[in-house]
Amino acid sequence: MSNLHDLYQETIIDHSKRPRNKVVVSEPTHSAEGYNPLCGDRVTVQVKMEDGRIAGIGFQGVGCAISTASASLMTDAMKGKTAEEAESAFEKFHALLTVDRPPAADLGKLTVFSGVREYPMRVKCATLAWHTLRAALRGEHKPVSTE
């Protein structure tokens, strides 16, 4: 089990040091801002929808390693998804961090965050980008707060 834990750690560290999709999206159709007052994480998620699917997605902001890695892995995972598929992924990811049960089979690399459940204060770091994406896709304009 230690090898699996090490792999999870490596993935989180890799995505926090070299985040994917930390870009400004050209002509986004959806955008939202999020803030975690306890940790100081701030994120803006931008999405460009084309033909009902996420054609472009990116994030900007500053955050802890878990927050940044989560935003990076989330943006990778959401490319090509519909808004409904993104909502479903949000629910599954949130359950991964808050419910003690095996992860959904289709979460893929996102399961690296399963250990975060053991640290309740870090759950907000891992879910900030997800809550922000959800708000963007729903057209909510009020900044998202984890509090």
pLDDT tens for the chain, 147 residues: list them. 455 566 578 999 999 999 999 999 999 999 999 999 988 999 999 999 999 999 999 999 999 999 999 999 999 999 999 999 999 999 999 999 999 888 888 999 999 999 899 999 999 999 999 999 999 999 998 999 988
- Looking at residue 1, its pLDDT comes to 45
Q: Where are the alpha helices (DSSP H) in the chain?
A: 2-17, 65-78, 83-98, 120-138
- Looking at residue 146, its pLDDT comes to 87
Single-letter residue type at 19? P
Closest CA to 112 of 142, 69, 79: 69
May I ask the CATH class of domain 2-142? alpha beta
> In Å, how far from its chain's centre is CA 133?
8
